[in-house]
């Protein structure tokens, strides 16, 4: 073989090897890309109960929920969109920003708002109007919703408690969304499951919340995507 032909042949082999390697890498990347595309995204949209006031990162609701779903074979990504101190009005004001992730819109939004409205004695009609708009805006984007309920403290008076507590089931029925009646079910007023302030769950309290709400989250995801 003459030197020129040999060099051309070597270049040809080198090019073929490069193409082969690139195709192999592409083939390996396809399953990972498909898995990422199939991974449901859940936006946990709420106040300090979602954000994790007073908790270490691994103890927070979004992290524990993601782990609980993984244990059920659901590799979801749970995004922490909680803001401590947020009211329903604050949630409405930042909703569009929370939904504007460049990676794409979420598959499910868990709405956990209202506790601070009740603590501040905000008119229940105002809270309901804000939550109504939040639900409408999310629905307009074709995103599934799990609405979680909240209860007013008894010291707000019987009339206020009745008006406030009725907001959540009424909105769930109006918008036909998945509904979890009380976010703090099994945790509220239990000193062993709350921090010293008596209002915010500790890590064990969040674990109790996650244990109870996970079936509702899975159900809401399946309604969105039966597969």
203-220 pLDDT per residue, tens: 999 999 999 999 999 999
- Quickly state the pLDDT bin for 34 (edges 50, 70, 90): very low
The C-alpha atoms of residue 128 and residue 180 are separated, in whole angstroms, by 16
Q: Could you tell me what percent of the chain has a pLDDT over 70?
A: 81
Query: Is 12 in the active site?
Result: no
Q: How far is CA 14 from CA 1, 11, 25, in A?
A: 18, 5, 17
Same domain, 74 and 142: yes
Same domain, 145 and 203: yes
Catalytic residue among 12, 132, 197, 211: 197
Catalytic residue among 51, 86, 88, 200: 200
* Average pLDDT, integer, range 171-176: 98
Pairing of strands 41-46, 108-112: parallel
Catalytic residue among 48, 51, 88, 117: 48
The C-alpha atoms of residue 147 and residue 133 are separated, in whole angstroms, by 13
Query: Is 200 in the active site?
Result: yes
Same domain, 47 and 23: no
CATH at residue 191: 3.40.50.1110
Domains of the chain: total: 2
Same domain, 157 and 210: yes
Query: Is 48 in the active site?
Result: yes
Please check the confidence at residue 24 and state whether its pLDDT lies above 80.
Answer: no
Same domain, 7 and 113: no
How high is the pLDDT of residue 22? 46
pTM for the complete prediction? 0.83
Q: Domain span at residue 103?
A: 39-224
């Amino acid at each position: 073989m003459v030197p020129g032909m040999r060099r051309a042949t070597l270049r040809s082999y080198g090019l073929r090897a490069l193409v082969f390697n690139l195709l192999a890498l592409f083939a390996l990347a396809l399953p990972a890309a498909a898995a990422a595309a199939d991974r449901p995204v859940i936006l946990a949209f709420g106040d300090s109960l979602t954000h994790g006031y007073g908790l270490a990162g691994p103890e927070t609701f979004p992290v524990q929920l993601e782990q609980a779903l993984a244990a059920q074979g659901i590799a979801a990504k749970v995004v922490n969109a909680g803001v401590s101190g947020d009211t329903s009005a604050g949630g409405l004001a930042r909703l569009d920003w929370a939904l504007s992730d460049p990676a794409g819109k979420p598959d499910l939004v868990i709405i956990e708002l209202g506790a601070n409205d009740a603590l501040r004695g905000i008119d229940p009609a105002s809270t309901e109007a804000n939550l109504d708009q939040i639900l409408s805006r999310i629905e307009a984007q074709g995103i599934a919703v799990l609405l979680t309920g909240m209860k007013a403290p008894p010291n707000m008076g019987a009339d206020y408690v009745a008006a406030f507590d009725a907001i959540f089931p009424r909105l769930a029925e109006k918008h036909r969304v998945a509904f979890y009646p009380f976010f703090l079910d099994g945790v509220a007023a239990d000193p062993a499951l709350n921090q010293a302030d008596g209002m915010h769950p500790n890590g064990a309290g969040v674990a109790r919340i996650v244990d109870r709400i996970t079936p509702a989250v899975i159900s809401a995801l399946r309604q969105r995507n039966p597969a």
